[in-house]
Amino acid sequence: MSDSQDITALASDLEARLDSKLGLRRGALPVRMRKAGRRLPRWVHRDAQVIGAALDLSAHPKLRRRVDQARVRAAHRRIADHIDQIDPKEQRTRFVLGVLAGLALNMLAMTGLLLAFLYWMKLI
């Protein structure tokens, strides 16, 4: 397998992992990383930029030799390891619990304000 096909295979592997773990189905790797946004750490975005730059260079026959294969493989390995650790079910659970905690806090604050208002108006 040539270097450009190898880099393309690494990028498509990451795209499949982003699809399965984060639900990012559209676009190439740089587009999916932009859509992932803050759900992934900054170092993952930097490693994805390394792979994206390698994809751009590998498309050109003379610039293909400038691609650092070891760096691209290391970036792929780090990103893949991080994405594999993501648990979509846990993320959904944390999101729902965060929303419910916010609602509970708002209800507690409103109840406190209502009781303070009723006490101030000498109704209790």
Please check whether residue 3 is in contact with residue 58, taking contact to mean a CB–CB distance below 8 angstroms. yes
Residue 52 phi/psi, 5-degree rounding, is: -65, -40
Q: Where are the domains of the chain?
A: 3-86, 87-124
- Say what the pLDDT of residue 2 is: 66
- Say what the pLDDT of residue 106 is: 99
Please check whether residue 18 is in contact with residue 30, taking contact to mean a CB–CB distance below 8 angstroms. no
The token duo for 117 is: 């208002």
- Say what the pLDDT of residue 124 is: 84
- Say what the pLDDT of residue 71 is: 95
What's the whole-model pTM score?
0.78
- Say what the pLDDT of residue 81 is: 97
- pLDDT, one tens digit per residue, over 92-110 is 999 999 999 999 999 999 9
Q: Give the residues of the chain that fall short of pLDDT 50.
A: 1
Please check whether residue 82 is in contact with residue 14, taking contact to mean a CB–CB distance below 8 angstroms. no
